[in-house]
């Protein structure tokens, strides 16, 4: 391959570029990103960035970037995949490549008049809005909503979190452990309202709930999930269905195109995690250079989240059979395992609150 184009210049895109060079690819590398910024780390945005403790945290220093010897096309959006080797960009140019890495990530779902927090620019706007706000409304009690609520409390704001489901974090942790995490809000003076829909957000007064209640808020932020950024692929040669459809090694229906990160639907599963993006980049680029699937993803889907001074860690998959192995939910310090429904001896998932040591030890037993 003489030219490889990476579409998406965040974690998955950057790690793909680094992996390609590490594996000896010495051809032309073009990296396209719709944001104007060089790759930065997103996890601090909802935490230390909002608190004013850090500015943008680069994912690579200048020496690392120079070593990539890449052509950066930043502030430029891929608008179409014209063929299996040609991408149209928003500045009217096209990039021709022998291989393509799709790393376009996810786009936050929005609610009119509510902030979102995905990009550095989003975080700058939210931080500015927090500077004068007293009452903060957070819609969605997933990881992003919970972390924003926690930061807002640290800044002394009055915080109300609205969650559509009866229990937060059900999708990732299941009902029991999601409820355990949800209790952190009340512990730290935030109000959590569950099982209610949002009717509308009013810029001046806050959130109107579908059941007629009103939540007073000067600033409202929605953390209600993301959708894969695949609009630009519509009608093109790559198959799309809840993300870019690829095999367990990130290879799409075209052998010269791979997908990595939040946008990749690998063997029926779309992982929206920092650690998955990093691992997928290594594997998918190997397959791209090999011209076939020679390796598959093994990452167990490790997730961490820092909320209200508590570190939540999760890996694997949640089942209904969840057992506390150490500590207690009441102490907000525990490790629990999820067991397989067909063989309860098998640990298929682990969740911990403030117990990294035992979490790390049990992780080795994960099936």
Ligand X SMILES: NC(=O)c1ccc[n+]([C@@H]2O[C@H](COP(=O)([O-])OP(=O)(O)OC[C@H]3O[C@@H](n4cnc5c(N)ncnc54)[C@H](O)[C@@H]3O)[C@@H](O)[C@H]2O)c1
Site membership for ligand X, residue 317 (CB under 6 A) = no
Pick the closer one to ligand X by CB: 144 or 233. Answer: 144
Binding to ligand X by CB under 6 A, coded x per residue (else -) over 204-243, reads -------------------xxxx-----------------
Q: Work out whether 192 is an interface residue with ligand X (CB under 6 A).
A: no
CB of 226 to ligand X, least distance (A): 5
**Closer by beta carbon to ligand X, 164 or else 329:** 164
Which residue among 65, 95, 162, 347 contacts ligand X (CB under 6 A)? 162
Pick one of 5, 133, 198, 233: the residue that binds ligand X (CB under 6 A).
Answer: 198
Taking CB under 6 A as the rule, which mask of x and - marks residues 14-53 in contact with ligand X?
A: --------------------------------x-------
Distances (CA, A) of 327 to 80, 307, 330, 336: 52, 19, 9, 9
Q: Which of 4, 11, 144, 221 binds ligand X (CB under 6 A)?
A: 144
Least distance from C-beta 91 to ligand X, angstroms?
A: 28
CB of 135 to ligand X, least distance (A): 17
Q: What pairing do the DSSP bridges indicate for beta strands 198-202 and 206-209?
A: antiparallel
**Between 73 and 332, CB nearer to ligand X:** 332
**140 lies in the binding site for ligand X (CB under 6 A):** yes
Distance CA 208, CA 210 (A): 7
For residue 85, the minimal CB distance to ligand X (Å) is 30
* The binder of ligand X chosen from 9, 11, 100, 139 (CB under 6 A): 139
Interface pick for ligand X out of 35, 218, 272, 279 (rule CB under 6 A) = 272
Q: How many residues bind ligand X, per CB under 6 A? A: 24
Residue 87 or 224: the one with the smaller Cβ distance to ligand X is 224
Among 164, 248, 329, 366, binds ligand X (CB under 6 A): 164
Residue nearest to ligand X (CB): 142
Site for ligand X in 171-190 (CB under 6 A): 171
Question: Which of 15, 57, 108, 49 lies closest to 306 in space, CA to CA?
Answer: 49
Q: Quick one: 185 or 286, whose CB is closer to ligand X?
A: 185
**By CB under 6 A, what part of segment 117-136 binds ligand X?**
none
Cα dihedral: 114, 115, 118, 119 (round 10): 150
Task: Give CA–CA dist 307/181, Å, rounded.
Answer: 9
- If the CB atoms of residues 218 and 272 are measured against ligand X, the closer one turns out to be 272
CA atoms within 13 A on the CB side of 288: 34
Sole binder of ligand X in the list 8, 99, 145, 349 (CB under 6 A):
145
Q: How far is the CB of 361 from ligand X (least distance, A)?
A: 21
The closest of 322, 324, 282, 318 to 300, measured between CA atoms, is 318
Q: What is the spatial distance between Cα 276 and Cα 299, in angstroms, rounded to a whole number?
A: 6
Kindly tell me which residue out of 44, 168, 174, 349 binds ligand X, with binding defined by CB under 6 A.
168
CB of 111 to ligand X, least distance (A): 7
Check: CB of residue 57 under 8 Å from CB of residue 31. Answer: no
Binding site for ligand X (CB under 6 A): 46, 139-145, 147, 162-165, 168, 171, 198, 223-226, 272, 303-305
């Amino acid at each position: 391959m003489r030219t490889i184009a990476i579409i998406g210049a965040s974690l998955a895109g950057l790690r793909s570029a680094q992996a390609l060079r590490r594996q000896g690819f010495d051809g032309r590398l073009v990296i396209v990103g719709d944001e104007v910024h060089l790759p930065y780390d997103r996890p601090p945005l909802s935490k230390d960035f909002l608190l004013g403790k850090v500015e943008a945290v680069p994912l690579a220093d200048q020496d690392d970037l120079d070593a990539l010897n890449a052509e950066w096309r930043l502030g430029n959006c891929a608008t179409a995949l014209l063929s299996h080797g040609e991408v149209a960009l928003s500045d009217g140019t096209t990039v021709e490549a022998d291989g393509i890495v799709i790393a376009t990530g996810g786009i936050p779902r929005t609610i009119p008049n509510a902030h979102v927090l995905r990009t550095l620019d989003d975080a700058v706007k939210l931080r500015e809005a927090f500077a004068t706000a007293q009452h903060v409304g957070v819609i969605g009690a997933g990881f992003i909503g919970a972390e924003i609520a926690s930061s807002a409390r640290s800044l002394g704001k009055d915080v109300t979190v609205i969650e559509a489901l009866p229990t937060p974090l059900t999708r990732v942790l299941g009902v029991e452990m999601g409820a355990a995490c949800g209790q952190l809000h009340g512990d730290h003076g935030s109000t959590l309202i569950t099982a209610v829909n949002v009717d509308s957000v009013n810029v001046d007064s806050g959130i109107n709930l579908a059941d007629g209640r009103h939540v007073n808020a000067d600033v409202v932020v929605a953390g209600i999930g993301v959708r894969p950024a695949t609009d630009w692929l519509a009608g093109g040669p790559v198959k799309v269905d809840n993300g870019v459809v690829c095999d367990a090694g990130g290879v799409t229906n075209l052998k010269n195109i791979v997908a990595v990160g939040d946008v990749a639907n690998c063997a029926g599963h779309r992982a929206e995690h920092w650690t998955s993006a990093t691992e997928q980049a290594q594997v998918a680029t190997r397959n791209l250079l090999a011209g076939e699937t020679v390796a598959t993803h093994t990452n167990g889907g490790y997730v961490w989240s820092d909320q209200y001074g508590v570190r939540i860690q999760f890996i694997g998959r949640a089942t209904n059979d969840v057992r506390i192995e150490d500590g207690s939910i009441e102490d907000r310090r525990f490790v629990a395992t999820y067991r397989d429904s067909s063989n309860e001896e098998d640990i298929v998932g682990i969740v911990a609150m403030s117990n990294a040591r035992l979490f790390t030890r049990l992780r080795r037993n994960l099936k």
